[in-house]
Structure 1
Amino acid sequence: MSNEASGDLAVLPPGMGGSAAAEFAPFVRAFARTFGNRRGAGAAFAVHLHGEPLVDIWIGSGGDAPWTKDTGTIIFSATKGISATVVHRLADRGLLDYSAPVAEYWPEFGANGKDAITVRQLMTHRAGLSALAPIATCLADVLDHQLMEERLAAAKPDRLLGVPTYHALTFGWLVAGLARAITGMSMADLFRTEVAEPLGIDGIHLGRPPADASISYAPLAGSQLSMLGKPLGAAVLGRSHRIPGALGAATRCLFLPGLEAILEGADPPILHTELGAGNGVCTAPALATMYGALANGGLVAERRYLGSHTVRALRRIESYQLDRALFYVPMLWRLGYHSMPMPGARAGFGHIGLGGSFGWAEPRLGLSVGFVHNRLSASQLSYDQSAAFWLLPLMLNCLRATHRVAVQEMPKAA
């Protein structure tokens, strides 16, 4: 789409594609300034209101090619929101009960004192299985998703059982093992049959999209996390079991010596496994579409995607306790999603990934958002990780100006 806009559309800056309602012009300009000049990198942002797109913009490049509407990239932990949605689809059909023990569906999981751990605990990071090192010794282990499911089924929970402690990588294998036990299908197949196909989208995949997919993959740009493999980083990670408090919990759930190699190369190993916690490849509009179903009572284009009882359950805050592995941040965990602890956005929910990509729903407004980008560089990570904390408030302020929602319903953004 050209940069020229007419009628009630914003004029797009040079190099930006897509369209946006005129009232989003300040957002469009800020987005272009922030994401339009990154070497080999690009970004896309989509906003849907009651399923209708208000913003669908992209800028920059995905490697050697310009970013387009169909460009997607790895969204890391934002993948968890999609994996959780798969579980909700199963619950919606009566195939599982959130309050039932996981072992009721996945008998092997009952080993080593885990027979009473419930699906609800699993989906709210309270299963006591956040640490990576007890179940994986090397990169090859991490890349074998069925092996990881088996080892978690046999594992013993740690002392944080029952306490919110972010299961950064293990969450994906846990929900995949549960879903496989119920359906006999892999999580990659369930992404297709329970999310992409029912929603009519080809912008959500687990791992590298197939050759016949319409999505084009934007490779990671930047230094990735190569610093972790240097002697100092390896020495610290190798002693993560000795680090006390939140720093130790965060290190144990996120890192393993040598794990940084999972991101290396033009065709990184992370694309060739099923990591329901971290290797989704998505476009921004696809994320906005999925979260639109959660923001609009389970309906997509007047078609029922989830029942109202399931939607009520997934919106409910399950735990107000501070998360031990995320430095005591108030995540307000739902069943697989978290709150965005910022002005104007706390009632919504979604999931942020490493580097800042995220999907988000605001049920009070029927609003959904998808944001993806492909820069992953250690030196800029803290800035990129906080993208939601300025993108969402700015977007909400622009939405207020559209008068498409009642003023009394509109949460104020700082």
Structure 2
Amino acid sequence: MLAPGFEAVGEAFAADPRGGSALTVLHHGRPVVDLHEGWRDSARTIPWDEHTLVNVYSVGKPVMAAAVMQLVQRGQVSLPAPTAAYWPSFKTTASVRDLLSHLAALPSFPVARPVEAWSDWDLLCTDLAEATAEWEPGTVAAEHALTYGHLLGELVRRVDGRPPARFVAEEIAAPFDLDLAFALSDEDIARCAELEFDAPDWPARMLGAPDSVHARAVSNPPGARDLAVVNSPLWRRAAVPAVNIHATSMAIARFYAAILDGRLPDLAVPQHTGTDLFLESEVTWGLGVQIEPDGTWGQGGLGGNAGWADPTRDLAIAYVTRRLGDFTTVDRIEEALKKAEPKTANF
């Protein structure tokens, strides 16, 4: 669907078909744009539909942040408290706030592990608990590309008792009608889109300089940028909430709408501004989201996925794709949204 006033947004979405993608825009929580195109599979035999799930990579990180913030709201967790107060074997001084804001100084899993380790939650969490911080926690930001979900998810498990996938399913997905999950069931795996690269050299282009924080952070365990892994049952059944939440665009947009209207905790609370060593750019981190100078906030995901909110216009936006490339389409959609004129009388 495409509501009057958003025609340019529809044109921006259609300008570069990805062979499988979707865009949802909610205004005051109601859909004004809900479009999809292409196919679910690389052979282009199964059309993409509103029930297609796709791996949205880091777009899922704020979902884990919201889970922790629910525990904060309930008085079960304190942001300034050391993580070790809830996770006794955790050795660094990083606080809960540090974990949420990519300030924990644990951007990489510290022990080299094989791809099969993605299925071993306890092993990877033990590695993080016993790790030495790469610098003083709370001082320098570096997006915790692969470790973020294990750090927050294990905190949730230690406090609440439920595994993070179950907590998200019962406390976020079900209550807010969000079609998103990780550690997928066979039924959900059957709805997943197959990822593909926009060019054969895409993994190398995205790796970063050798021995950089970026390169180290995304390389262990291997497989997060390997199609044979991310399209496999091993990956889809695993709990890697930093990068393997699978979702529809409607689910991500509804997630942001629930934050905007106060049903989910506010994440757009500035915590740190400075050069992010992983992103190698100036960033203002909130509680699991990036806050932009224009007041919009959200989180991009590897390959061109994105979810964000425009609070001044009460817009919640999500773009998801199975073809991993760059953010050209998202940038074009953003520009079109600036010109959109919601005709609220029609809703």
* TM-score above 0.5, yes or no: yes
Match status 1:87 vs 2:52: no
What does the per-residue CA deviation read over 1:95-132, in whole Å, with 9 as the maximum and x for residues that have no partner? Answer: 111111111111111x2xx1x32111111111111123
Mean CA deviation greater in 83-92 or 266-275: 266-275
| Identical pairs, percent | 28
Name whichever structure is richer in helix by fraction: 1
Deviation at 1:190, TM superposition (A): 1.4
Deviation at 1:228, TM superposition (A): 5.4
Is the CA contact (8 Å cut-off) linking 2:24 and 2:249 kept in structure 1?
A: yes
Structure 2 unpaired stretches of 5+: none
What does the per-residue CA deviation read over 1:315-338, in whole Å, with 9 as the maximum and x for residues that have no partner? Answer: 2111111211111x2221001111
Deviation at 1:62, TM superposition (A): 0.8
**Structure 2 residue matching 1:146: 3-state secondary structure:** helix
**Structure 2 residue matching 1:195: 3-state secondary structure:** helix
Report the counterpart of residue 408 of structure 1 in structure 2.
Answer: none
What does the per-residue CA deviation read over 1:249-291, in whole Å, with 9 as the maximum and x for residues that have no partner? Answer: 1111112384357531653532121011000110011111111
**Cα distance in 1 between the residues matched to 2:74 and 2:235:** 32
Is the CA contact (8 Å cut-off) linking 2:108 and 2:220 kept in structure 1?
A: no
Count matched residues.
Answer: 339
**Structure 2 residue matching 1:107: 3-state secondary structure:** coil
**Cα distance in 2 between the residues matched to 1:27 and 1:60:** 18
Match status 1:220 vs 2:168: no
- The 5-angstrom pairing of residues 252-291 of structure 1 reads 252-256=216-220, 258-259=222-223, 263-264=227-228, 266-267=231-232, 269-291=234-256
> For 1:294, which of 248, 259, 283 is the aligned residue?
259
What does the per-residue CA deviation read over 1:143-196, in whole Å, with 9 as the maximum and x for residues that have no partner? Answer: 322211111011111125321011100111100111110011111111201211
Is the CA contact (8 Å cut-off) linking 1:74 and 1:279 kept in structure 2?
A: yes
What does the per-residue CA deviation read over 1:229-264, in whole Å, with 9 as the maximum and x for residues that have no partner? Answer: 9xxx9xx99x94xx3xxxx11111112384357531
1:209–1:31 distance in 2 versus 1, CA, 3 Å: farther
Is the CA contact (8 Å cut-off) linking 2:118 and 2:235 kept in structure 1?
A: no
Report the counterpart of residue 72 of structure 1 in structure 2.
Answer: 53
1:145–1:225 distance in 2 versus 1, CA, 3 Å: farther
> For 2:333, which of 380, 383, 391 is the aligned residue?
391
**Structure 2 residue matching 1:120: 3-state secondary structure:** helix
Is the CA contact (8 Å cut-off) linking 1:354 and 1:385 kept in structure 2?
A: no
Is the CA contact (8 Å cut-off) linking 1:45 and 1:58 kept in structure 2?
A: yes
Deviation at 1:200, TM superposition (A): 2.3
Deviation at 1:87, TM superposition (A): 1.0
Is the CA contact (8 Å cut-off) linking 2:268 and 2:291 kept in structure 1?
A: no
Report the counterpart of residue 173 of structure 1 in structure 2.
Answer: 150
1:260–1:175 distance in 2 versus 1, CA, 3 Å: closer
1:210–1:226 distance in 2 versus 1, CA, 3 Å: farther
Q: Which amino acid aligns with 1:280?
A: I
**Structure 1 residue matching 2:220: 3-state secondary structure:** coil
**Cα distance in 1 between the residues matched to 2:118 and 2:190:** 26
> For 1:402, which of 325, 342, 345 is the aligned residue?
342
Match status 1:317 vs 2:270: yes
> For 2:296, which of 323, 345, 348 is the aligned residue?
348
Is the CA contact (8 Å cut-off) linking 1:228 and 1:260 kept in structure 2?
A: no
> For 1:147, which of 103, 110, 123 is the aligned residue?
123
Deviation at 1:352, TM superposition (A): 0.7
1:259–1:225 distance in 2 versus 1, CA, 3 Å: farther
Match status 1:337 vs 2:289: yes
1:207–1:357 distance in 2 versus 1, CA, 3 Å: farther
1:145–1:32 distance in 2 versus 1, CA, 3 Å: same
Is the CA contact (8 Å cut-off) linking 2:142 and 2:276 kept in structure 1?
A: yes
Q: Which amino acid aligns with 2:316?
A: S
**Structure 2 residue matching 1:330: 3-state secondary structure:** strand
Structure 1 unpaired stretches of 5+: 1-18, 299-304, 406-414
1:209–1:364 distance in 2 versus 1, CA, 3 Å: farther
What does the per-residue CA deviation read over 1:183-212, in whole Å, with 9 as the maximum and x for residues that have no partner? Answer: 1111111120121111023x111143541x
Report the counterpart of residue 249 of structure 1 in structure 2.
Answer: 213
Deviation at 1:225, TM superposition (A): 7.3
**Structure 1 residue matching 2:255: 3-state secondary structure:** helix
Match status 1:58 vs 2:39: no
Is the CA contact (8 Å cut-off) linking 2:189 and 2:233 kept in structure 1?
A: no
Is the CA contact (8 Å cut-off) linking 1:333 and 1:339 kept in structure 2?
A: yes
**Structure 2 residue matching 1:371: 3-state secondary structure:** strand
**Cα distance in 1 between the residues matched to 2:62 and 2:176:** 15
> For 2:103, which of 126, 139, 162 is the aligned residue?
126
Report the counterpart of residue 375 of structure 1 in structure 2.
Answer: 323
1:24–1:83 distance in 2 versus 1, CA, 3 Å: same
Is the CA contact (8 Å cut-off) linking 1:76 and 1:278 kept in structure 2?
A: yes
Task: Say which one has the larger Rg.
Answer: 1
Is the CA contact (8 Å cut-off) linking 1:315 and 1:334 kept in structure 2?
A: yes
Q: Which amino acid aligns with 1:318?
A: Q
1:367–1:154 distance in 2 versus 1, CA, 3 Å: same
**Cα distance in 2 between the residues matched to 1:227 and 1:143:** 25
